[in-house]
Amino acid sequence: MELNSIEDVKALNEYKKMEQIQKIEKKFHRLGFVPYMTLGALTLYYIFTVWLDGGSWSNMHFMFIASSMASIGYSNVERTDLLKQLIELKYGR
């Protein structure tokens, strides 16, 4: 692609900025599913290990639940960072 004028350079920069905004919005949307997927995983885990196994809780059960909660927290932190980037790209600093 040949850039012949300042307008071409500005248009190319604007195009790259729009692509980056779309990538960030896509990531942001995908990270929104993490709490729901974790809830589903914990529900299946409960059904197969605790309910069908006899109902005893061990330390591994609590470790799995704690790591699941940590992953939700991490995804929320990532979403916050992406939201900051998105605001900076759309509205400037």
pLDDT in tens, the chain (93 residues): 566 788 888 888 899 999 999 999 999 999 999 999 999 998 998 888 877 777 677 788 889 889 999 999 999 999 999 999 999 998 886
Nearest to 60 by CA among 71, 70, 47, 50: 50
Dihedral over Cα of 31, 44, 42, 65: its sign: negative
Q: Does the global pTM surpass 0.85?
A: no
